Amino acid sequence: MKLPEKPKIPDSKDTIFWLKFQSQIVNQKNSRENIPPERYEKIAVLLWLWLVNLMCVDPKELHGTSYVSKELDKATLVTASVTTIANWWNAFTTLPFLLFMFESMGIFSFPAAMLSNVVLIKLGNSLATGVASHQPGSSGFALIGTGGFITLNIVLTFISGVGSELLLNQPGLSRKLGEDLAQESVFQPLENEISVIQQNATKIRQECTTLQRKLEALTPNDPKRDELHLAAYGLYADRINQGGYKSYENDPIEQWPACPKANALEAASDRQLKVAQDKYQEKLTEVKNYGSDLAYLKNNEPEIYESSFNEAGNISSGTEVTRVAAILFVQKLLNRQWVDLGQSLFVMTISVITSTIAIFMAISYSRREDVQMSKSEAVIKAREVFINETIFDLSKNQVSPEDERLFALFVKDLKETGHCDYPPFFEYVKHAREMEKTRYLQGDVEIIEKALEQVKNGYHKLINSNSEPEIVAGQNLINQGCDSITALASRYYPKSDRVKELIKTVEYVQAYLQYPRLNLPLTSRTVGYLEELLTASISLVERMDQTMRKNYDYTIKNI
């Protein structure tokens, strides 16, 4: 494979002619000269620039300055705009959450919320810039930036839904907290009372059931039956005397046998349970008659109500209202209550869409070839060579001071922005980028070219040899070349049966040339083997050359 030749740097006179008549450098120079110096020094302008840099993704930070095309400028502007809009939307929709979260700080709550919002915007912008820094030398840093950007957007997307609940559903949040407080202070004690009664009855019955199972497991003549029967039912006479006097009835009920005690206590617990359940139902009806749990608390539990709600009926604590909003939003989301979510779902959906687009666009942008080219060290070195050689040629041609200043302005603009429409310059740095991306192919090309040359030279030395030293030298050349060729062929074609056959042929002839020692003159058989080895080596090299050409074309097609 023959690599493309390095483009030549044009004559400095041609470069100056292009700068004067075809580039925008002259217009930029005139426009800058017409702006009064004091205009750059105005505090308002500086403050505005600082604010824009703080709140927006700076397009210049998303790429390098070695070479920047017009297409890259457009893509950068779109990526920066989409990312900035996504960050702004997330910040806007999370502001209610921050305001309520800092509400306890009094007069400092709004400044604290705004400061936190600005920090989140700046963090999102910085992480987006980190995503765009993806290149071989900083892939770890870009990976961290990508993970942080995705995580931040997921968190802010969720908080945007909660923030919408806070902003748009204050009555619903009050109702939710009212229900929780009513459950905790009114219904939970009654439910606990019912639960305790049921658990006690179950526990007593369990003791009786255990003794019954043990009795059933014993044989009729087992000596332990009397003891277990006494614990479970009392005396045999008590059990036979159905409906009559029982010997244990005068004892405290705690001392009764397990099963009679369970029957007696169950009857009592049933009566207690009925009373407790009726009481619970009465309380439910009472609360329902007030229309809501919140209204019931306001009229019957003023201390609880006033500790959690203000005069307007809204939750008084910012921390508490954010907690309730988060719980209510998650419940609606998990239960798929889309209608109840309403505007919160709309806000969150917009956040999901903008965040997803921003994430994938930033990742895709970072992998663009022109972005990688704008940060390429090889392109920077080529740019410096182009500039230095042009400067040297300018000094040789003794151009006018005006032309020198024009070229100096061009160099300054090129280094600051990377912008240059000069075709020879583009071809020069493009070649540098091609060589950088195909460096591994260049090494392989050099190896197979050198290896094939060694095989050819070794072949001719053996064919034309007149002494034993020439035979040994030819054998060494063939072995060195064939080893390199077969090693690369095995790496390029690990599964090709045809390549394996050619490699086997080469290795067989190599072994034949080693044992036994070759004698002069060479036999026709030996010459035939040498020709077969040369043919197989050439075939392997041609195959690899074609593959390398395809890899080269594929690698540089987007440059």
Among 32-41, 157-166, 289-298, where is mean pLDDT lowest? Answer: 32-41
- Tell me what the mean pLDDT of segment 482-492 comes to: 92
* Max avg pLDDT among 27-31, 246-250, 331-335, 534-538: 534-538
What's residue 464's pLDDT?
Answer: 85
pLDDT score of 96 more than 80: yes
Mean of the per-residue pLDDT values of the chain: 81
Which CATH topology does 423-558 take?
Answer: Four Helix Bundle (Hemerythrin (Met), subunit A) (1.20.120)
The torsion defined by the Cα of 319, 324, 329 and 331, in degrees rounded to 10, comes to 140
Name the residue with tokens 């939970």: 188
pLDDT in tens, 376-424: 888 999 999 999 999 998 888 877 888 888 888 889 988 988 888 889 9
Which pair of structure tokens corresponds to residue 437? Answer: 């991306």
pLDDT in tens, 327-348: 888 888 888 877 777 777 888 8
What's residue 74's pLDDT?
Answer: 92
pLDDT in tens, 268-296: 777 877 888 888 888 888 888 888 888 88
pLDDT in tens, 108-158: 888 888 898 888 888 888 888 887 766 555 567 778 888 888 888 888 888
What's residue 31's pLDDT?
Answer: 54
Q: Say whether 315 sits in a helix, a strand or coil.
A: strand
Q: Find out whether 366 and 133 touch, Cβ atoms under 8 Å.
A: yes
CA distances from 107 to 103, 263, 312 (A): 9, 66, 20
Q: How far apart are the first and last CA of the chain?
A: 19
Confidence of residue 106 (pLDDT cuts 50, 70, 90): confident
Sign of CA pseudo-dihedral 407, 413, 415, 417? negative
Percent of the chain with pLDDT over 70: 88
- Tell me what the mean pLDDT of segment 547-555 comes to: 80
- Tell me what the mean pLDDT of segment 499-525 comes to: 81
Q: Residue 394's CB: how many other CB atoms inside 10 A?
A: 19
β-pair partners for 315: 309
- Tell me what the mean pLDDT of segment 104-110 comes to: 82
252 vs 501, residue with greater confidence: 501
What's residue 145's pLDDT?
Answer: 80
Give the integer Cα–Cα distance in Å for 351 and 158: 9
Name the residue with tokens 């919140």: 294
User: Domain locations in the chain?
Assistant: 172-312, 423-558
Name the residue with tokens 């095309």: 69
- Tell me what the mean pLDDT of segment 303-323 comes to: 80
What's residue 40's pLDDT?
Answer: 47
Q: What ranges make up the beta strands (E) of 39-98?
A: none
CA distances from 96 to 101, 132, 160, 284 (A): 8, 31, 9, 35
